[in-house]
């Protein structure tokens, strides 16, 4: 191996040696594995000469062995022993047959190029285009692999005849690629996430002449897959689906090759090209990683439609309900699909705009909300919760997402949430309420993100249902209790977010939101309590003592749950013993997002963090909630044990900025009118009050509308590192046959049992 590559490539190569490469067949594998290692008492301590053909020929016997056999016969511990104690024997095994050439490629490069060739090898992984004849066998090194793309879709119209053997061979080669790429697992997570994986870097470079057809093959294979097949009930029990294992490996290889931190390099191009080929050569050059480059340059609407429909179909698969239990096949690779969807939106802004152009985005939203609701109590699925929320945060930064949420929700996916009649916005709020009030405690860092999403869409929500309105008021009620506000330095941010939601809807969508206005009037005492929040030391101490007696962070007693949807099951915690992988911490919401102000023409204007614009409500737009956190920490005090404790100065520093002006004015105008109607007409029926509020108006009575602030997701190295850790954790746990990485010295994350 070339000296310059020794350190960077060796770890993956050793894992590779213990895996798929040996599947060509080792006779007497068990004894040979021992024979390579000098630690065995019966093996001479000196290295085995390369010329000892009698010994080395045993490795290349004709008997075909499965990958599983190799793992059973040559344990990873023995390969490690060879590496540590007889490295020269391992080197001989690697290079046996190789010519001694100083200019030869490093072994890792040769391996990757050989795998790329094999992925387009006629009669092995693709259908030969020639009549079967020994003399006219196609030369792997000269054929145009663009003619052998595996599936129709982006940039390729022909759908080849399915072939079980080809799919199996492709799958084994993709597993080998994943093993080669897995060097990332053996490096600890570091803030410098820009460090590139040399295996991925080489494979996705111009050195790999199959890069374009392989990228297209992987993408099309995933997006064209239909697990339901012909729709015959229980068909997955009658016929084995040999395509699904290939699709799983394809999506895993795809997301690993797209692991590219574009905060540290040239950003993928987003130009207005609408003609030309699928990946137009006229575009300016993008990143050196060709897979990222190709992904960022897809621009034809029919290609976007194919990708979006394919991902939506697969994400919706676990939601399929039939009257016959277990009659439809359920796929298990939805986490990888969510990472792929994230990469598409992050690297190709034209795809993101296409997704939001129609209500097709709701076909992505509903499955994500289903997964979030289903996984909320399961600590082994905290990573799934994060990626779902990150995607919704990214989408919520675009006005069209908020507008699309107004579409009525009629698809009755069985979810453990109250029955309601309303829009997709109602579904989102009801699910978020469930996550916050009955999710696992490890989800608390996500509360900021969840409420930021609601803030971003709130100016566009035309009509919230009574159920959703009550959920928002219940959250405010829970978050504004003194013991909660005073128990952590950043808890008051949640109150600021909710007040911003109410202000946006009152100022920009008052007509049509009588249910929310009515809920605000009913819970007016909460706003009055916030306005008169005590800040003296005795009151703070009293609140903290109450906190120590509180049974749980958020009470559900005052939130009328109502009946859950028919056919739904409650969210279940993880089964004891479930394996999970650790995750790095995610950046705070102020690092995750960048504030933009919506201009009158609808365009966004980025706000400089230094500017101190104040909104009409007296809340400095740039201070709340993240920018002055350190200042507020200074105003609070730390006890001798290092535990944070609130002070009067700290409470006053943010209490004065609570944006209550608009809501207090609304209450001042409407409460007397509602009370008068109730007395005059003897009303006890809320439908009459709602009818009155529907026809009411506050034009000219409210403060001047504040500018709409949107917090858009911004790429940063912190989230890039989080995605890498999460992605490899998913791949580690999902690849158990054979268990390629089990019992190896993984450093990127910890493997834990629930």
DSSP-derived secondary structure for 407-453: SB-------SSB---SBHHHHHHHHHHHHHHHS-GGGGGGHHHHHHH
Residue 675 has a pLDDT of 86
Question: Which token pair is 184?
Answer: 């990332």
Distances (CA, A) of 66 to 63, 182, 708: 10, 22, 61
**C-alpha span between 487 and 489 (Å, rounded):** 7
Q: What is the pLDDT of residues 627-672, one digit of tens each?
A: 444 455 555 555 445 677 889 999 999 999 999 999 999 999 999 9
**C-alpha span between 258 and 589 (Å, rounded):** 25
Most confident of 507-511, 567-571, 620-624, 742-746: 507-511
Q: What is the pLDDT of residues 57-84, one digit of tens each?
A: 777 665 656 777 777 777 777 888 888 8
Ranges 121-130, 195-204, 285-294, 547-556: which has the least confidence? 547-556
Residue 33 has a pLDDT of 47
556: pLDDT confidence band, cut at 50, 70 and 90? Answer: very low
Most confident of 113-117, 561-565, 590-594: 113-117
Does pLDDT of 18 surpass 60?
A: no
264: pLDDT confidence band, cut at 50, 70 and 90? Answer: low
- Percent of residues in the chain assigned helix, strand, coil, to nearest 5: 55, 5, 45
Mean pLDDT of 504-522: 94
549: pLDDT confidence band, cut at 50, 70 and 90? Answer: low
635 in Cβ contact with 656 (< 8 Å): no
Give the number of residues written for the chain: 754
Residue 240 has a pLDDT of 60
Mean pLDDT of 435-462: 94
List the one residue out of 424, 404, 297, 305 whose CA is nearest residue 361. 404
List the one residue out of 565, 559, 573, 574 whose CA is nearest residue 416. 565
337 in Cβ contact with 317 (< 8 Å): no
Distances (CA, A) of 28 to 44, 60, 75, 225, 437: 19, 11, 14, 40, 59
Q: Is 635 helix (H, G, I), strand (E, B) or coil?
A: helix
Residue 324 has a pLDDT of 55
Does pLDDT of 291 surpass 50?
A: yes
For residue 437, the tally of other CB atoms under 10 A from its CB is: 19
How high does pLDDT run on average in the chain? 81
Residue 512 has a pLDDT of 92
Does pLDDT of 611 surpass 60?
A: no
Stated as kind and residue range, the H or E segment containing 595 is strand 593-598
DSSP letter for each residue of 663-691: HHHHHHHHHHHHHHHHHHHT---HHHHHH
Does pLDDT of 392 surpass 50?
A: yes
Stated pTM of the model = 0.86
């Amino acid at each position: 191996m070339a000296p310059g590559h020794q350190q960077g490539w060796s770890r993956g190569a050793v894992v590779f040696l213990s895996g798929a490469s040996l599947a060509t067949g080792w006779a007497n594998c068990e004894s040979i594995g021992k024979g390579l290692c000098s630690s065995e008492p019966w093996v001479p301590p000196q290295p085995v000469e390369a010329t000892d053909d009698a010994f080395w020929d045993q490795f290349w016997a004709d008997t075909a062995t499965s990958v599983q056999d190799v793992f059973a016969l040559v344990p990873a511990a023995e390969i490690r022993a060879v590496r540590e104690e007889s490295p020269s024997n391992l080197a001989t095994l690697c290079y046996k047959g190789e010519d001694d050439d100083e200019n030869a490629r490093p072994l890792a490069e040769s391996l990757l190029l050989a795998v790329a060739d094999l992925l387009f090898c006629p009669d092995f992984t693709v259908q030969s285009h020639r009549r079967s004849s020994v003399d006219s066998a196609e030369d792997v090194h000269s054929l145009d692999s663009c003619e052998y793309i595996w599936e129709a879709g982006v940039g390729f119209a022909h759908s080849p005849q399915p072939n079980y053997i080809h799919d199996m061979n492709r799958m084994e080669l993709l597993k080998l690629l994943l093993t080669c790429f897995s060097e990332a697992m053996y490096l600890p997570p570091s803030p410098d996430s820009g460090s590139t994986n040399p295996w991925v870097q080489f494979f996705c470079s111009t050195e790999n002449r199959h890069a374009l057809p392989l990228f297209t093959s992987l993408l099309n294979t995933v997006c064209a897959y239909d697990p339901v097949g012909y729709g015959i009930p229980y068909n997955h029990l009658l016929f084995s689906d040999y395509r699904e294992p290939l699709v799983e490996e394809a999506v895993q290889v795809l997301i690993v090759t797209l692991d590219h931190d574009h905060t540290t390099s040239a950003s993928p191009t987003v130009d207005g090209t609408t003609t030309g080929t699928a990946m137009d050569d006229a575009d300016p050059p993008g990143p050196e990683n060709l897979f990222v480059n190709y992904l960022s340059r897809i621009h034809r609407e029919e290609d976007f439609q194919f990708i979006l429909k394919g991902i939506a179909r697969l994400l919706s698969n676990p939601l399929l309900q039939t009257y016959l239990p277990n009659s439809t096949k359920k796929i298990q690779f939805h986490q990888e699909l969510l990472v792929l969807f994230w990469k598409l939106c992050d690297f190709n802004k034209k795809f993101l705009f296409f997704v939001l152009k129609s209500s097709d985005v709701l076909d992505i939203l509903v499955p994500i909300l289903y997964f979030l609701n289903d996984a909320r109590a399961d600590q082994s699925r905290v990573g799934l919760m994060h990626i779902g929320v990150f995607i919704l945060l990214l989408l919520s930064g675009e006005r069209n997402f908020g507008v699309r949420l107004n579409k009525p929700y009629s698809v009755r996916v069985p979810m453990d949430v109250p029955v309601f009649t309303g829009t997709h916005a109602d579904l989102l709020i009801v699910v978020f309420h469930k996550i916050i009030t009955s999710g696992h405690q490890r989800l608390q860092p996500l509360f900021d993100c969840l409420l930021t999403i609601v803030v971003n869409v709130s100016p566009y929500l035309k009509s919230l249902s009574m159920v959703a309105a009550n959920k928002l008021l219940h959250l405010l009620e829970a978050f504004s209790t003194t013991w909660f506000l005073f128990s952590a330095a950043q808890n008051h941010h949640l109150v600021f977010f909710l007040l911003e939601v109410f202000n946006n809807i009152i100022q920009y969508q008052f007509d049509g939101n009588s249910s929310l206005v009515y809920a605000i009037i009913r819970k007016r005492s909460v706003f009055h309590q916030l306005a008169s929040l005590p800040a003296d030391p005795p009151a703070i101490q009293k609140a903290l003592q109450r906190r120590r007696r509180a049974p749980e962070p958020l009470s559900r007693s005052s939130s009328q749950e109502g009946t859950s949807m028919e056919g739904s099951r409650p969210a279940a915690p993880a089964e004891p013993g479930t394996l999970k992988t650790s995750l790095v911490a995610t950046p705070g919401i102020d690092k995750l997002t960048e504030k933009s102000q919506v201009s009158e023409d609808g365009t966004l204007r980025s706000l400089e963090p230094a500017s101190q614009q104040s909104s009409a409500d007296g809340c400095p737009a740039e201070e709340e909630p993240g920018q002055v956190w350190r200042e507020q920490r200074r105003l609070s005090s730390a006890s001798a044990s290092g535990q944070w404790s609130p002070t009067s100065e700290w409470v006053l520093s943010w209490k004065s900025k609570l944006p209550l002006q608009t809501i207090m004015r609304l209450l001042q105008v409407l409460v007397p009118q509602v009370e008068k109607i109730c007395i005059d007409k003897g009303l006890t029926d809320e439908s009459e009050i709602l009818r009155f509020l529907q026809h009411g108006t506050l034009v000219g009575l409210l403060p001047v509308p504040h500018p709409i602030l949107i917090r858009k997701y911004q790429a940063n190295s912190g989230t890039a590192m989080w995605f890498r850790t999460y992605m490899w954790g998913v791949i580690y746990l999902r690849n158990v046959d054979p268990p390629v990485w089990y019992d190896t010295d993984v450093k990127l994350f910890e493997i834990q049992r629930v």
